[in-house]
A and B are shown apart, each in its own frame.
Chain A
Amino acid sequence: MADTVDAYVARGHPIDPPLRRPLKIFELDPIVSRGTPGGLTIDIPNEPGLRPGPCGERVQVVDYDGVLRRYYEPVDLNDPAILIQGGLNPVESDPRFHQQMVYAVTMRVLENFDRALGRKITFRGKQLLLLPHAFRGPNAFFDPGVGVCFGYFPADREEPGQNIPGQPIFTCLSHDIIAHEVTHALVHRLRPHFFERTNRDVLAFHEGFSDIVAIFQHFSFPTVLRAAVRASRGDLSEPNELVNLAVQFGHATARGGALRSALDTPDPSRYRRAWEPHQRGSILVAAVFDGFFQTYQRRIQDLLRLATAGTGTLPAGEVSPDLVDRLCTEAAAAAQSVLTMCIRAFEYLPPVDITFGDYLRALVTADYDLQAEQGAVDRSLMIEAFRRRGIYASEVSSLGEDALRWPPVPIDTKRVMPADLVARQVLNEANRIDRHARATEDLNRAAVELQAWAGANAQRLRLVPDMPVKAHGFHATFRVAPGGELRVEVVAQFLQQRAHPELAGVVMRGGSTVVATADGVVRFVIAKPLDDAQRMERQVRHTRALAAADPLAAWGPDSPGVMLDGPVFRLLHGGMQMP
């Protein structure tokens, strides 16, 4: 007893480490942020063991310049001088602020994924490497072998937009560019074969999805949201900062405005024509935002009627600040629920060869599974927004929600994952979420057991029998339904591959995503079977068309372009003309 008292006298009672860490970032980017010189404070999960860099459990910021071959001084976010002011203030001239912003935005993206997926997403025990000043050039990449590389460059001298001609522009100071590239990394983590150009939608999905995450995060920044709601008098479907992507970058590269926007004029023929991944991806972005706007409009109708004595039409002039506040609350809530819905769909995506139609089906299934009743109207609005842009699910006969949802497989006592394997994984995943987690189980052992099970049940899982099966990803997810009940599910991906007999060196892939209940009963088998001759033929036709359009791809797969895009995901195509 006396020992303990002595200890406290010496050091005081320990204070629990805080759950959240406040950090400052530019409000979207240095141009948009001009109205708020102090920047924007966001809070992210506090990592108690954070080291200089910042270097945390899942991400590592290394400020190494690959061109000059120099390091820039790393920031120590646990320095009391920084802690006491809630993070460094936004300054373009201090690299340590750049590192802080990259770290903060990355953590925010990770948190959005964790929340939506109902588990803690990791990089298989490694850290995602982020290089805020990796190279010179108006671009940023995610390269699976390296990590996220941000470029810096002088603004265009003739047409700098709102920048000073020639001033240094840092892509790592753009919330949108950081969020876009980090999302590429996360998509790659969840579906490593989505960088293979097996059909026109695959890379476009990568790009579109990355833009969706970047733009939806805008709604969680109160000052940006409030300004937009006030200026647009609540009509968020008008052009505004919320729906613009990378404003400073767009100006600096002589585009005269934002790099991309979530708004479009729906035109089904664009989906038939567009090839370039960013352009095609923007159709997906516009569809999701259309769905969001409809949801938001629906949710604020009662507020507008209350505020206008029942007419629903706002009088001319400034909108009452109280109403602006309430509209902001609704917009932020609707945006968060759509973003969560978009990410949650991942667990219901096939492991390879995704199409926008597959994504729509996954979106609808995932949301229905969690909130069948409550989400019905919003889902139908989303389906309609996709339809207006010519995106359907090819195998589905109607656009009714029940037709769009992945069909659940009949309960089959033989189609049950080994119970102890499932139980161990559920425990394992639960431990990881817990802050006081114990060491996690050896996942390799689980993978071996899982592969054996899948091999023995190949036909039931729509895999090709008597061929090797690889398990990629095996997770338990925890979600809370609107009624308050905890939903625990287990999701596994299985992959098969074989060399194409004619296209030398081209590997054809198939596989299934299997969703099971907490006791291992399989509910969904979302498959792209390797023995689907029609799909393979489509893929071959697509590969040939790509090769014809891209001379670099003419002779063999070791030249970039046939199936792989580098594989580097860029903010844009480097200013190069692409076929």
Chain B
Amino acid sequence: MNDAVVRMYNVGFGDAFLLRLPTAAGEVKVLFDCGSHAASEKPRPMREIVGQVIDDVREADGTARIDVVVGTHRHQDHVSGFDDERWSEVVVREVWMPWTEDPNDEEATRIRERQSATAARLAAALAGDASGLLELAENQLTNAAAMKTLHAGFAGSPRRRFLPTAGSDDLSDSPLGPFGVHVLGPSRDERVIRDMDPPVGEAYLRMIGLSGDGDVAAGAPFADAWTYTESEFARSETWQHLRLTGPKKTLVHKVAAADRLAVAVALDKAVNGTSLVLAFELAGAVLLFPADAQWGTWDAMLSEPSSRDLLARTTFLKVGHHGSHNATPRDFVELLEHPDATGAGLAAMVSTHAMARWPKIPKAELLQALAGVTERVARSDHGGEPAIPGFEHWGEDFIDLRIPLSTPKEG
């Protein structure tokens, strides 16, 4: 077999990609993430999807084997599926995670702890909130059980790598040794690290009323005697002209929540900023998996001439962050080389699920711009619709893309 195959599972709002790469020694299987957002509708329960992934990697001897599991970052929509006892029977050779997951790295530990602490406080304070903020906050929670699988689970005592390492990454002894593996992010550059820090400290959360520790932040600013419910206030004839109604009142509620929203969004961005970004270079093909990388990481990649050149040659793109506006810079799409007469050119896959809550994911303009580069753009949630030509399998549960290659040279 000379072809690489990428399988995108339809997990709803989340990511699960299985990559099969041909080598002289046989097929190498790489699983990128396995998760879905708790609030997302799914075509079938996550447990069933996990069952299929495990079946898909089962070999002739009945044992499920994966060469490399990549946990790109600790968001629920990327890892929730790892909270499943069946993974303990799957033989895994290596688990790759971003350097921010390294338990022995001081800076990584500091970033993780700050992110988790902020998320926990945010989620606790938002309990009962119906505006969608809670879901955003819950996505950030430690996802402890799933992360335990990645850090300590699986059969076969897999080797854990935290990438990129502080020095240069030598992956030649990994199952992906035969390929050119580029670790493009998360950078250890100071500016990128700053983006990973939660935007605000505990003091700020308290100031916006998001710490439930019973001090004045949680209470009312004035004595009860001065305070009127909306219906009490409405009863006064002399105050009728002061009543807020209709759209104006809605706007006031929105403004009142603005700072909370800003914190939730900024934290989301901070965790996405830890995304492990990988590119595989094989005979004529460049497969790019940017996870949910944010501008800081992209900026670092695009400013470095060698990685910029690599990005321009991308032939397969896993579209970042479910096709949202903030994970695929315009610069990058403009950089993509258009298909020439001989090559098949670019193909892209977007794992996404339209949710009323986040109407801008996926972002229409981004999809249009990609469509200007290639006709082969698959959406995981469009699997049930008429197939787009150029994909090996087009189904409601998963979509396969075959990428023709010449067998790479040994070692």
Contacts and interface: CB of A to CB of B under 8 A. Distances in A.
Given A137-B208, A574-B262, A70 B255 contact: no
B354 interface: no
A166 B216 contact: yes
Contacts of B330: 547-548, 554-555
Contact of B227 (A66, A70, A74, A149): A70
Contact of B209 (A137, A146, A548, A575): A137
A55 B239 CA distance: 10
Contacts of B220: 65, 68, 70
B233 A71 contact: yes
A93 interface: yes
Nearest to A136: B209
Interface string B30-74: 000000000000000000000000000000000000000000000
A52 interface: yes
B266 interface: yes
A137 B225 CA distance: 23
Contact of B206 (A68, A69, A157): A157
Contacts of B217: 136, 153-154, 166
A137 B363 contact: no
Given A70-B229, A254-B203, A554 B216 contact: no
Contact of B226 (A55, A72, A554): A72
B251 A145 contact: yes
Contacts of B162: none
B238 A153 contact: no
Given A66-B256, A131-B252, A556-B365, A153 B328 contact: no
A551 interface: yes
A551 B294 contact: yes
Contact of A62 (B216, B232, B242): B242
Interface string A133-153: 111111101010110010111
A369 interface: no
Contacts of A552: 325-326
B204 to A, nearest CB: 5
B207 A137 contact: yes
Nearest to A146: B251
Centre residue among A131, A152, A555 by max chain B CB count within 10 A: A555
B365 A141 contact: no
Nearest to A53: B242
Given A134-B252, A141-B255, A168-B216, A558 B208 contact: no
Contacts of B257: 66-67, 135
B259 interface: yes
B366 interface: yes
B228 A72 contact: yes
A73 B226 contact: yes
Interface in B58-97: none
B144 interface: no
A76 B242 CA distance: 12
Contacts of A70: 220, 227-230
A143 B253 CA distance: 12
B207 A136 contact: yes
The number of chain B residues touching the other chain, given as a range, is 35 or more
A232 interface: no
A532 to B, nearest CB: 26
A231 interface: no
B185 to A, nearest CB: 14
Interface in A12-40: none
A577 B194 contact: yes
B248 A146 contact: yes
B295 interface: yes
B207 A253 contact: yes
Centre residue among B199, B248, B252 by max chain A CB count within 10 A: B252
A315 B207 CA distance: 48
B166 interface: no
Centre residue among B222, B238, B251, B366 by max chain A CB count within 10 A: B222
A296 to B, nearest CB: 38
B299 to A, nearest CB: 8
A199 B331 CA distance: 21
A559 B207 CA distance: 27
Contacts of B230: 69-71
A55 B242 CA distance: 8
A73 B242 CA distance: 11
A68 B233 CA distance: 14
A167 interface: yes
A129 B241 CA distance: 12
Contacts of A55: 241-242
Interface in B315-357: 325-331
B233 A554 contact: no
Given A168-B216, A577-B194, A146 B360 contact: no
Given A555-B365, A556-B365, A559-B360, A95 B226 contact: yes
Contacts of B329: 548, 551, 554
B200 interface: yes
Contacts of A136: 207-209, 217, 256, 259
A64 interface: yes
A62 B206 CA distance: 25
Contacts of A154: 206-207, 215-217
Contacts of A145: 251
Interface string B229-263: 11011000011011010001101110111110010
Nearest to B232: A71
B26 interface: no
A93 B222 contact: yes
Nearest to B229: A70
B331 A138 contact: no
B208 A554 contact: no
B25 interface: no
B223 interface: yes
B207 A554 contact: no
B135 to A, nearest CB: 19
Interface in A89-123: 93-96
Given A66-B257, A548-B330, A551-B294, 14 more contacts: A52-B242, A55-B242, A71-B229, A71-B239, A73-B226, A94-B222, A141-B258, A166-B216, A168-B221, A547-B330, A554-B326, A555-B325, A576-B266, A577-B199
17 contacts: A52-B238, A53-B241, A64-B249, A66-B253, A70-B220, A71-B233, A72-B228, A133-B221, A139-B259, A146-B255, A153-B207, A154-B206, A168-B221, A554-B326, A574-B262, A575-B207, A577-B266
